[in-house]
Amino acid sequence: MPFESQMDRIAALKADNPQNIALQSFDPAYFVTLSEPDQARLMACLRSGVDNPDSEMGCYACQPADYDDFRSFFARVLARYHKVDEDARHLNDWSLDGVEGLPESGILDLAALGLPALSMRVRVGRNLADFPLPGAMTRDDRVTLETRMMTAFDALIADPDYGGAYHSLTPGHPNQIDQATYQALVDDHIMFKDMSNDRYLTAAGIAADWPFGRGCYVSQDRGFIIWVGEEDHLRIMCMERGTILNRVFERLKTALDKVSGFDGLTFAMSPDIGVVTSCPTNAGTGMRASVHIPLPRLTADGTDRKAKEICRPLGLSVRGAGGEHTPIGADGTVDISPSARFCITEAEIIAALYQGLAKLQTQEAQS
């Protein structure tokens, strides 16, 4: 479709879809200043939102440099979604030193808040600087990336602190698993689901070539997982049932440093945006830190309505026990996580979770 026709289509969709951030952020005056190759690149970023105008975000970056090369567009997108200024710059920092409102010891112990051992999880999205982002990858790109990651996986498997195995979905891969094993991993919430059924990821090109280049590494204790080939090249997560939030936070940072230390596994970063992710919702830190906490009093009506009312001013999101768009647990268990990803440090995210849980626990006890 000629660029003029695409611009007309965006203009028509923009009027009817005020919730679509990408469409609302598209500026025809800026677009016509771009070269034809760059116009094609930017249109590729908007493809999902144009094909699915009911989207909230409506765009995905397709190349690691997109956030910087199209700063004018993505600055508006990030500002609208993350509620920051258009000239906001992100800084990454994992150190808890100097973060206000934390125990003097620096130990974020949920037991000190009167909470039992809980399911704790911290995950990040990462992309390798040497490859296009998933929306622009070819089948060969996906398979090559997975093959390159085997250097890190082999090292992790040989490390007694990790061990475990890599499970590939790629036909012919030495570590390929069968459908029954894959489904068992999905049922155990270890592996991600078939993305080819997701119309947003399909339109963006992210779900293309399924299942080539897809798989997951799982540590021996199942507490450390790396997804390959989902929305980002890598989704890296640590999980544990316990009370010390620092443990999953620090284990994740150690593992990230270990993986990115191998040749050819440099993570894509932007000087202004921080961590580069396919979806602008995750840019900055790419991090989500969460716990599953039972709130039987606040959910006594069978809904998470009261919990959300309390959590929203605290900057916390409430999800069902099985993740987004799932019901709360039978005992009132919900998933709690800080909402912010951008213009907040990694340390501030984990601190916000701890501080929010302290306030939430007080409200639960008083209900």
SS3 per residue for 32-97: CCCCHHHHHHHHHHHHHHHHCCCCCCCCCCCCCCHHHHCHHHHHHHHHHHHCCCCCCCCCCCCCCC
Q: How confident is the model at residue 319 (pLDDT cuts 50, 70, 90)?
A: confident
Residue 38 lies in a domain: yes
Please state, as a whole number, how many other Cβ atoms lie within 10 Å of the Cβ of residue 12: 12
Per-residue DSSP letters for 133-148? Answer: -GGG--HHHHHHHHHH
Q: What is the pLDDT of residue 326?
A: 65
Question: Which amino acid belongs to residue 198?
Answer: D
CA distances from 109 to 113, 115, 225, 336, 354 (A): 7, 9, 23, 16, 8
Q: Which structural domain, as residue segments, surrounds residue 47? A: 10-82
Are residues 131 and 122 in contact, defined by beta-carbon separation less than 8 angstroms?
no
Residue 73 lies in a domain: yes
Pairing of strands 269-270, 234-242: unpaired
Q: What is the pLDDT of residue 131?
A: 98
Q: What is the pLDDT of residue 303?
A: 86
Residue 140 lies in a domain: no
Q: pLDDT of 290-317, one tens digit each?
A: 999 999 988 888 888 888 998 999 899 9
Q: pLDDT of 22-67, one tens digit each?
A: 999 999 999 999 999 999 999 999 999 999 999 999 999 999 999 9
Q: pLDDT of 72-120, one tens digit each?
A: 999 999 999 999 999 999 999 999 998 988 998 999 999 999 999 999 9
The percent of residues in the chain predicted with pLDDT above 70, rounded, is: 98
Residues 79, 232, 46, 132: is their CA dihedral positive or negative?
A: positive
Residue 56 lies in a domain: yes
Mean pLDDT over the full length of the chain: 94
pLDDT higher than threshold 70 for residue 325? no
Name the residue among 309, 303, 295, 359 with its Cα closest to residue 116.
Answer: 295
Residue 280 lies in a domain: no
Q: What is the pLDDT of residue 323?
A: 62
Write down the pTM of the prediction: 0.94
Number of domains in the chain: 1
CA distances from 235 to 113, 152, 198, 283, 363 (A): 30, 14, 18, 13, 33
Tokens 């765009």 appear where? 59
Residue 61 lies in a domain: yes
Q: pLDDT of 147-196, one tens digit each?
A: 999 999 999 999 999 999 999 999 999 999 999 999 999 999 999 999 99
Residue 322 lies in a domain: no
The percent of residues in the chain predicted with pLDDT above 90, rounded, is: 84
Residue 129 lies in a domain: no
- Report CA dihedral (60, 64, 69, 70) to the nearest 10 degrees: 10
Q: Which DSSP helix (H) or strand (E) runs through 275?
A: strand 274-275
